[in-house]
C-alpha cells in the first residue's frame, strides 16, 4: 500500500472513530481534549461535531491553519508531559472525549510516547469518557470499544474510561 493510501485510510478511520465517539458521549457533560493540534484539521472537525462544548488543546508549538487555532484560554501550550499534569486540577475527571493524535513517523517512538502519556491522560477522563487514539493504549482504567464498521482493527483505537 502506498504511503498516500495509508494516510487516507488513517484519516478515514480517524473521522469514523470521532463520529462514533460523538454518539458514545452524547449523554455526558464536560469538556473535550485534543492532544496534538498539528495543522488543526481534527480540532476543526471536533468544533463542527461539538459546537457547544469546550475543547482544550495540548500542543508543543502552534503551527495550525489560522482558522483552526483554539482560543488562548483553551490552549495548553508546551510539552504534554508538563501540561497534562498541570491540567489535572482543571480537567481531572471531567473530560468526556480525549483525542490523541500526536507523534512522529516512527512507530516505535509513537508507541513509547503513547505509553508515557497514557497515565497522564486516563485521570483526566470522566467515568464513561472516551479516548480516541491512533496508538494502542490498553491497560487499567480503559476498556476497548468496538470500532465502527469499515475501520480495520489496529488502524485506530477507541476506549471507554
- Residue pLDDT, tens place only, 110-147: 888 889 999 999 999 999 999 999 999 988 899 999 99
pLDDT over 80 (residue 30): yes
Q: How far apart are CA 21 and CA 16, in angstroms?
A: 9
**Residue 34: exposure state from Cβ atoms within 10 A (0-12, 13-18, ≥19):** buried
Domains and CATH numbers, the chain: 3-160 (3.40.50.150)
List phi, psi (to 5°) of 97. -145, 125
Higher local confidence (pLDDT), 7 or 58: 58
pLDDT over 90 (residue 108): no
pLDDT over 90 (residue 102): no
Amino acid at each position: 500500500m502506498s504511503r498516500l493510501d495509508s494516510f487516507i485510510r488513517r484519516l478515514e478511520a480517524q473521522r469514523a472513530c470521532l463520529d462514533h465517539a460523538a454518539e458514545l458521549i452524547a449523554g455526558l457533560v464536560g469538556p473535550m481534549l485534543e492532544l496534538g493540534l498539528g495543522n488543526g484539521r481534527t480540532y476543526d472537525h471536533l468544533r463542527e461535531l461539538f459546537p457547544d462544548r469546550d475543547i482544550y488543546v495540548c500542543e508543543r508549538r502552534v503551527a495550525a491553519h489560522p482558522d483552526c487555532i483554539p482560543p488562548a484560554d483553551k490552549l495548553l501550550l508546551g510539552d504534554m508531559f508538563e501540561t497534562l499534569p498541570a491540567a489535572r486540577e482543571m480537567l481531572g475527571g471531567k473530560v468526556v472525549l480525549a483525542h490523541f493524535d500526536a507523534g512522529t513517523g516512527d512507530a516505535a517512538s509513537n508507541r513509547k510516547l503513547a505509553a508515557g502519556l497514557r497515565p497522564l491522560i486516563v485521570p483526566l477522563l470522566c467515568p464513561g469518557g472516551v479516548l480516541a487514539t491512533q496508538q494502542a493504549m490498553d491497560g487499567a482504567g480503559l476498556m476497548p470499544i468496538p470500532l465502527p464498521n469499515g475501520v480495520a482493527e489496529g488502524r485506530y483505537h477507541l476506549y471507554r474510561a
